[in-house]
Chain A
Amino acid sequence: MLKLGGGGGGGGQDWACSVAGTGLGGEEAAFEVARLGDPGKGGCRGPGWGCAGIPNSAPGVGMLQAGAGGPERGGQGVEEVGAPAGGGEERPARHPPAPALRLLNRKPQGGSGEIKTPENDLQRGRLSRAPRAAPPAPGMGDHGGQPERSAPHAPGTPAGAGAAAVNGLLHNGFHPPPIQPPRLCSRSLPGGGDAAPPRLPLQPELQPQPPPPQHDSPAKKCRLRRRMDSGRKNRPPFPWFGMDIGGTLVKLVYFEPKDITAEEEQEEVENLKSIRKYLTSNTAYGKTGIRDVHLELKNLTMCGRKGNLHFIRFPSCAMHRFIQMGSEKNFSSLHTTLCATGGGAFKFEEDFRTIADLQLHKLDELDCLIQGLLYVDSVGFNGKPECYYFENPTNPELCQKRPYCLDNPYPMLLVNMGSGVSILAVYSKDNYKRVTGTSLGGGTFLGLCCLLTGCETFEEALEMAAKGDSTNVDKLVKDIYGGDYERFGLQGSAVASSFGNMMSKEKRDSISKEDLARATLVTITNNIGSIARMCALNENIDRVVFVGNFLRINMVSMKLLAYAMDFWSKGQLKALFLEHEGYFGAVGALLELFKMTDDQ
């Protein structure tokens, strides 16, 4: 979704994002920027505090060590860690303009947020059709505080399977289905082919005292009322985590509530607070844990709470230490459910239970991937679009990153490149199939690079690759045919045999590590591209969305994939990319946490 045509920079983006907590939020977001962002633009640019205000890492305090030390030192320890960031003052300091903050924070408490009416929806529908980059229209500010209003008060859902899944999201208040026709097929209920019907079930959630949906039973109405009275009780207890334990990396998303009231602050148990402060005041944990600050989604409304979504990763081999930390921090006392996906959710389930006394809620990784992806795309990237593509992919000089509107994403071929690669054909929110996969993925790149060059990290490998030249390693068409192989339209510069030049001992002896790293990267990337392209042809899908941590800081691969899709399909296929490339599974897991609580 191209929510903001680049005009909404500055701190306002954060606000936009929080408002955009609804799937439709794009346009609203723009309006918010217009209204709230302007005053904030001056001093409160998010990244400014996000990065500079907090030390990169508490020196000497690793993620796990810190965790371990936490319970012993109680709040003290956390304070220590947090101190450099400005101690107790951090919260106000981190917030964008105070008035806006107060406004937003007040609303859930007041319980009388403004009502979304069908008229508003219509309004939005109309507006959404306006040029996306156009400056937001003024006077629509009353949308500001709504989304979080709707969430906690979401009514119970009809039990129908398909609807339940959709409404599950709705309950959480961040993902209302599309309203106006152009978006219907993108995020509508399955089977909601008509423009009008999908809107009806929305109404209850959009109104503070909704007339229960016609199809709800009296019992349900009763439950609904109870929930609405004590809406907050239906939220899962903090902390909110979503976890994706992959073969190489563990991806963790953490929702940091920013609308904590003084009362809550007081009630907040120490170790919960310490977790919050520890995670949010550091950007690195231990030797290997990293918070991707640049990906943080700010002022997001999830499950009726406003806050920031943090993206953290650490190697899967640190999993045991992580579990140990959970145990030492007495994490289980928080009564939180840990939603986890990825193979590790299964592999480590036992350890979580026996060592940390934590029950994992295991989730299907592909489900999580898709739900997470759709969600993040729907809320946008702090006002910027989540999805992008490369313009002029075949021309290195003109090749440029451009935002792409993924409003109507179906069907899409989703290529998830982690250690290995999974390829999914996605036809709707919950209709997808795994088409195929390949074992030649990010793990192969890194594994081979380590063996070939002695490097140790992905970053190192990519750095080398960026400097290398794969044509010294690969045998090109012209190396064999002396030029183009015209009969089949093969350019002389095409790779005929990856690593083919390495058959010769002389060349092996003279090759640089950088060249080898580059060749490995190119080989793996081209192969994924080739398989993805064939799958797209077989499935008759022309949009290929590439995600996964293989693409992290990996511009070479992205451009190569963009090139390969375009060139070999003669422009028929488009390669799309997403900013939060590797985190969708974890986000999907977090979404399940809300859904789960709701189902109880």
Chain B
Amino acid sequence: MAECGASGSGSSGDSLDKSITLPPDEIFRNLENAKRFAIDIGGSLTKLAYYSTVQHKVAKVRSFDHSDKDTEQDHEPPYEISVQEEVTARLHFVKFENTYIEACLDFIKDHLVNTETKVIQATGGGAYKFKDLIEEKLQLKVDKEDVMTCLIKGCNFVLKNIPQEAFVYQKGSNPEFRFQTHQPSVFPYLLVSVGSGVSIVKVETEDRFEWIGGSSIGGGTFWGLGALLTKTKSFDELLHLASRGQHANVDMLVQDIYGGAHQTLGLSGNLIASSFGKSATADTEFSKEDMAKSLLHMISNDIGQLACLYAKLHCLDRVYFGGFFIRGHPVTMRTITYSINFFSKGEVQALFLRHEGYLGAIGAFLKGAEQDNPNQYSWEENYAGSSGLMSSSPELCPTQRARSGTFDLLEMDRLERPLVNLPLLLDPSSYVPDTVDLTDDALARKYWLTCFEEALDGVVKRAVASQPGSVDAAERAEKFRQKYWDKLQTLRHQPFAYGTLTVRSLLDTREHCLNEFNFPDPYSKVKQKDNGVALKCFQRVIHSLDALGWEERQLALVKGLLAGNVFDWGAKAVSDVLESDPQFGFEEAKRKLQERPWLVDSYSNWLQRLKGPPHKCALIFADNSGVDVILGVFPFVRELLSRGTEVILACNSGPALNDVTYSESLIVAERIAAMDPVVRSALREERLLLTRTGSSSPCLDLRTWSGPCKGGHIWALGPLASQSVSLSVCSGADSPVLT
């Protein structure tokens, strides 16, 4: 813990009465490897962006050289595992109050070792105010970037790269935060940036946008006027006051003018006829809370109204809001949403962004990094390193705020290649990979959060066991435990912190946290062993299948697919059984399958279909390693191949639980090919293709496909196949639906 000698009282930028100590390894992470900087200095907040490389361990698998001995007989593992260092790119964003800027610049200066850059991209109104300070402290030349261009670039970037970036806010509904699913195309849209003033921008394409208007009544008005009226200094305090006030004491409402008659006239008596109208006629004192609330209503309504008028004029029905005025404050979002609904009669949708505060910084960074083509990559939000939404909301419990409210972080990892929607998706915009939204189901949320909490010990143990040679494994595992535990607690209070809460996002967060502490693949050993055991059984299974008649064989194959699925360490019930009884085998699993009809049973349709001409091409998503992929999936693949169907077998790009990874699947396929001529020739003739899903998550998301796209030729399997083969088991409900 080094001291970040900033002073200030956390939430109030004006008082300098106490200094704070911050753990810089939690805030300016990877600063020593920072390559490039950008900074966005707004009226009250500074957002620093830097690009750095992260060294972390990855588990690699490699075949032994078996050329001259029969592997069938020995008891060695089928392949070797090595942990290697890998360097990946990461984008860091840190947000803090302007009060800390000098201290932060000092800190950065002291920790900046490896950078070669000579410039820093700067945007925002404060860029020119702090130019000299930055140049002096960092010895970097300040390159000023256009505010609006940065904002739009940043907005496009987050909308493209962060699946659950935008949300609608509806106070009182369940859930209050409803996240917009990934849109294949977000254009055109209206961006309303509410900073000190308001800018209204129509965005038509990635880089074509038009400033169509603005208003001077914005965040600065709320703050300035609010400070005058209430003698309150800080913005957050004002919002806090507002959240406790009654605007009807200050505003003249319709019912004040019409008396009780508004009901008979069909008017809503609570409509504000004149903001602050009562303070003109009465000589009473008004409470600070009431005035702050009235002011907030006045400004939010006005912004909403103008946004609507512009949206209508330009025929747009989606308005994204950004800027420092919003900052995830529920009371602000509520009034803006209300106003938009009211003035547009529901025709215009108000959307807020989880990372609205970072748009300018992201844009400035992208401007500076244009030669690196950051847009050709896909980026993924790192849940381990990012603060959740509303970390600075005054409505959160104070303890939570004190810790995270001062600094807010966002980290994004660069993925190896750009991800696209799986071309097979019929309607990508309506595809929702997760069918259970834990944000709106409080009971399910509690259940799953408890599950993950209870499973944490096991994960920690496994993580340590996966790195027997490492001296600090136990220590790192403990840090992992703490981090993930904290995340789970955050999610208990703010289920919306990282978008819609799902079992997938809980698993992803765990993977991110594990990676963070260099446990790239805690299940590598388990998978290695399972794969070895299963490979030994492969030929026996094939023989018994071949001995069956055609129809019997089809049923056996499907049962095999289903039975294989049982071998999922992600499912708590299964992992308990596997832990206690390692000998629990494939046959037992098959026996334990219920007799048909199954819960979702389209086997008859499937059989009928098999009697017809062969499918042209099948896309199969593999799940667990070991028995599942080797004894369940491969025999099924083999059957399809012998029918003349081409098969694409998609596996996770990176490790996740005991799911088979792409690199493992290559070795497994190679070993099977050595035993089976059908698979061998198919591989050689490329009728069997192995590919990556683009995911490192235990749950399938077809929106981030990185595999090959064979034009329109891919024929996916029917619902039965996709359901049984795909990774639906972990939650039992994440069934992706293919065409």
Contact = CB atoms under 8 A, between A and B. Distances in A.
Interface of A: 246-248, 315-317, 342-344, 346-350, 418-420, 436, 438-444, 446-452, 456, 473-475, 480-482, 487-488, 490, 494-503, 505, 508, 516, 523, 526-527, 530-531, 534-535, 537-538
A408 to B, nearest CB: 26
A247 B221 contact: no
B281 A451 contact: no
A102 to B, nearest CB: 47
A309 to B, nearest CB: 25
B367 to A, nearest CB: 14
A449 B276 CA distance: 10
Contacts of A531: 305-306, 309
B280 A497 contact: no
Is chain A's binding surface mostly helix, strand, loop or mixed?
Answer: helix
A246 B224 contact: no
Nearest to B201: A488
Given A487-B211, A538-B312, A500 B277 contact: no
Contacts of A523: 216-217, 221
B281 A502 contact: no
Given A439-B274, A447-B274, A516 B228 contact: yes
Interface stretch (B165-173, B182-190, B246-254): B246-254
B229 interface: yes
Contact of B309 (A487, A498, A505, A538): A538
Contacts of B286: 451
| Max chain B Cβ within 10 angstroms of own Cβ: one of A449, A497, A500, A516 | A497
B418 interface: no
B235 to A, nearest CB: 8
B279 interface: yes
B281 A497 contact: no
B259 interface: yes
Closest 6 CB pairs of A and B: A502-B224, A347-B259, A343-B257, A447-B276, A443-B274, A497-B220
B275 A498 contact: no
Interface in B222-264: 223-225, 227-229, 233, 250-252, 254, 256-262
A480 B146 CA distance: 12
Contacts of A502: 223-225, 227-228
Contacts of A487: 146, 148, 211
Contacts of B271: 439
Nearest to B312: A538
B125 interface: yes
A448 B217 CA distance: 14
Contacts of A496: 196-197, 216, 220
Interface string B296-314: 0010011001100110110
B218 interface: yes
Interface string B193-227: 00111000000000000010111111111011101
A440 B313 CA distance: 22
Contact of B258 (A346, A436, A480, A490): A346
A203 to B, nearest CB: 40
Given A347-B260, A447-B278, A527-B302, 7 more contacts: A346-B261, A346-B265, A438-B301, A439-B272, A531-B305, A534-B213, A534-B306
A487 B220 CA distance: 22
Given A247-B256, A347-B257, A475 B196 contact: yes
B217 A248 contact: no
Given A419-B273, A508-B227, A531-B305, A488 B14 contact: no
Given A439-B251, A443-B252, A480-B196, A448 B302 contact: no
A443 B259 contact: no
Contacts of B196: 475, 480, 496-497, 500, 503
B64 interface: no
Nearest to B128: A482
A538 B279 contact: no
30 contacts: A246-B257, A247-B277, A347-B260, A350-B259, A439-B301, A440-B298, A440-B302, A443-B277, A443-B280, A447-B276, A447-B277, A447-B278, A448-B225, A448-B279, A449-B280, A456-B283, A481-B128, A487-B148, A487-B211, A498-B218, A498-B224, A500-B216, A502-B225, A503-B196, A523-B217, A523-B221, A527-B215, A527-B216, A527-B302, A531-B305
A447 B250 contact: yes
Contact of B298 (A246, A439, A501): A439
B276 to A, nearest CB: 3
B644 interface: no
A291 B13 CA distance: 52
B280 A248 contact: yes
Nearest to A499: B224
Contacts of B250: 447
Contact of A446 (B44, B224, B227, B280): B280
Contacts of B221: 497-500, 523
B220 A343 contact: no
A438 B252 contact: no
Nearest to A527: B217
A465 to B, nearest CB: 14
A494 B211 CA distance: 15
A14 to B, nearest CB: 36
A266 to B, nearest CB: 42
A534 B309 contact: yes
B217 A315 contact: no
A439 B261 contact: no
Given A451-B286, A537-B313, A538-B312, A474 B278 contact: no
B671 to A, nearest CB: 62
B291 interface: yes
B343 interface: yes
A537 B148 CA distance: 24
B43 interface: yes
B125 A480 contact: yes
B220 A499 contact: yes
A438 B251 CA distance: 13
A158 B227 CA distance: 62
Contacts of B272: 420, 439
Contacts of B298: 439-440, 444
Contacts of B228: 452, 499, 502, 508, 516
Contacts of A505: 14, 227, 233
- Give the residue among B254, B275, B306 with the most A Cβ atoms within 10 A: B275
Interface centre among A315, A480, A535, A537 (most CB of B within 10 A): A480
A439 B280 CA distance: 14
A348 B277 contact: no
A419 B258 CA distance: 13
A516 B298 CA distance: 18
A503 B220 contact: yes
B148 A443 contact: no
Given A497-B216, A500-B197, A500-B221, A534 B310 contact: yes
Given A346-B261, A440-B298, A487-B211, A499 B233 contact: no
A496 B215 CA distance: 7
Contacts of A497: 195-197, 216, 218-221, 224
A452 B229 contact: yes
Nearest to A346: B261
A334 B218 CA distance: 54
A248 B281 contact: yes
A131 B271 CA distance: 49
Contacts of A349: 259, 261
B216 A498 contact: yes
Contact of A475 (B197, B291, B312): B197
Among A348, A444, A456, chain B packs the most CB atoms within 10 A around the CB of A444
Contact of B277 (A419, A438, A508): A419
